[in-house]
Amino acid sequence: MASLHDTIRQTLEPLAQAPIPDDPDASLFDLGVIDSFGLMDAIAQLEEALGVKVPDSDLNPRRFETLAKVERYFASRLASGG
Amino acid sequence: MTHLAGFGAALPGTVVANAALAEEFQVPEEWILSVTGIRERRRAAGQETPASLAEAAARIALDASGLLPTQLGAIVVGSGSSPRQFPGISAELQRRLAAPGIPAFDVPLASSGSLVALALAADLAPRYGPVLVAGAEVMSRILDRPPRSKETSILFGDGAGAVVVAPGPGPVELTDVRFACDGALGDDLSLEPGAPLVMNGRTVILQASRKLPAAVRDLLGRAGLLPADIDLFVFHQANLVLLRQVAKSLAVDESRLFVNVDRYGNTSAASLLVALSEAAGQGLLRPGKRVVLGAFGAGFSWGAALLTVRG
């Protein structure tokens, strides 16, 4: 079974507009990996892949700016039952 | 029940093409087009104000409705760029239209203001009589506040749109309208007096891409309809990429989107009524058609309306 880390990378890979960084704290926005419009698609794909729903109140780009933040966010959603 | 009795739009004559902004901000013209879908926008001349543009749009809408200003029951203006904190644009518009005594008030919501004004007009018209709804913006004077920002300067334009909401049945029935607000992220699109516009584009896009399609689905659900049942979507012309994202989320073909953001840019609260006026002028509100209006803007506030064009 793929780890959360691997699932996130595999889900983002087809949507990425630049190489996904190895540094988990690098900004996906500053590196051009995901633009403003791609972020919505990325969140939708992650919701589907991980079986969790991101509520509107959590739709804040700052939560999804780095791989570490994405992983932390979805780990917390999964821990709380999605 | 209410209907839309006449439409109008007024755009300043000065055109600002992407080339001028590309030179100012040292970016490729193609980049501006690719991230916004905008080719040019309009800029108000020195003597033009939101009220003067609103007056021009309102007179067209009133003529189309066969109404004199003094026959109005109320005037409601949506705008995020009022030059004064008070009185608002509506009072000056009422003065310009020489309609003293007619109730007039403002909805100071950038981008969603005219949709919210339309919702209020739907409730007011049966009680007060025909309501003039206008959306008017001179965004360029806000954008000129230093430091000028590339992200906002390439996006916004000036203009005004108007519609008369009349009581009773009519060819273009305002079947339903709903609006909502969530203030949790209000700071991400805001304007302090005298200060530059604050816009966190990522947050706006993320929230709009989710909330606008949901509002449309909720509205249609109340009528037992699906997005596929709608012939034309006239949305606030925020950004072409966002409009496409909304269409994708609703699973409707982009050909059902009315688009004029390429010619006028994002005219904030004016854009919905400018687009609706142009759609009507192009004969797109034909009998039997169902039309959905939608807007998302500062607050965040958003909403949607359903029009049914009767035979």
Q: What is the mean pLDDT of chain A?
A: 92
Question: Amino acid identity, residue B45?
Answer: A
Average per-residue pLDDT for chain B: 97
For the segment A63-79, the average pLDDT, to the nearest whole number, is 95
C-beta separation of B134 from B93 below 8 A: yes
Share of chain B above pLDDT 90, in %: 99
Where do we find the tokens 């739907």? B122
Q: A39–B206: do the CB atoms touch at under 8 Å? A: yes
pLDDT at A51 (0 to 100): 94
CATH 1.10.357.10 given to domain A4-79: no
Nearest by CB to residue B241, choosing from A37, A56, A57, is A37
In Å, what is the CA distance from B237 to each residue of A73, A74, B60, B253, B260?
32, 33, 21, 17, 7
Query: Can you tell me the mean pLDDT for A4-33?
Result: 94
Structural domains present in chain B: 2-167 (3.40.47.10), 172-309 (3.40.47.10)
B187 touches chain A (CB under 8 A): no
Residue A37 has its nearest CB partner, among B205, B207, B210, at: B205
More confident of the two residues A38 and B174: B174
Q: Is B205 on the interface with A (CB under 8 A)?
A: yes
- Among chain B residues, the shortest Cα distance to A39 is held by B206
Interchain proximity B184–A57, CB inside 8 Å: yes
Average pLDDT, stretch B88-112?
98
* Residue B222 Cα, gap to closest chain A Cα (Å): 21
pLDDT tens-digit readout, B188-240: 999 999 999 999 999 999 999 999 999 999 999 999 999 999 999 999 999 99
By the CB < 8 Å criterion, does A40 face chain B?
Answer: yes
Of residues B202, B241, B242, nearest to A61 (C-beta): B202
As for the ipTM of the complex, it is 0.84
C-beta atoms of B210 and A57 within 8 A: no
Quick one: tokens of B282?
Answer: 């192009």
How large is the average pLDDT for residues A51-67? Answer: 93
CA B284 centroid distance within chain: 18
Read off φ and ψ for residue A61, nearest 5 degrees: -55, -30
CA distances, B12 to each of B111, B151, B157, B243, B259 (Å): 18, 22, 9, 24, 19
In SS3 terms, chain B reads as: CEEEEEEEEECCCEEEEHHHHHHHHCCCHHHHHHHHCCCEEEECCCCCCHHHHHHHHHHHHHHHHCCCHHHCCEEEEECCCCCCCCCCHHHHHHHHCCCCCCCEEEECCCCCHHHHHHHHHHHHHHHHCCEEEEEEECCHHHHCCCCCCHHHHCCECCEEEEEEEEECCCCEEEEEEEEEECHHHHHHEECCCCCCCEECHHHHHHHHHHHHHHHHHHHHHHCCCCHHHCCEEEECCCCHHHHHHHHHHHCCCHHHECCCHHHHCECHHHHHHHHHHHHHHCCCCCCCCEEEEEEEECCCEEEEEEEEECC
HSE-up (13 A, CA, CB side) for residue B231: 13
- Give yes or no for residue A37 having a pLDDT over 90: no
- Is the pLDDT reported for residue A41 higher than 90? no
pLDDT in tens, B120-172: 999 999 999 999 999 999 999 999 999 999 999 999 999 999 999 999 999 99
B198: region left, alpha or beta (phi > 0 left; psi from -120 to 50 alpha) = beta
> Residue A62 and residue A76: Cα distance in Å, rounded?
16
Say if B241 is an interface residue toward chain A (CB within 8 Å). yes
Check if the beta carbon of residue B273 is closer than 8 Å to that of residue B113: no
- The arithmetic mean of pLDDT across residues B247-256, rounded, is 97
> Å from A59 to nearest chain B CA?
6
Q: Band of the pLDDT at A36, cuts 50, 70, 90?
A: confident
Q: For position A1, what pLDDT does the model report? A: 65
Mean pLDDT of B247-272: 97
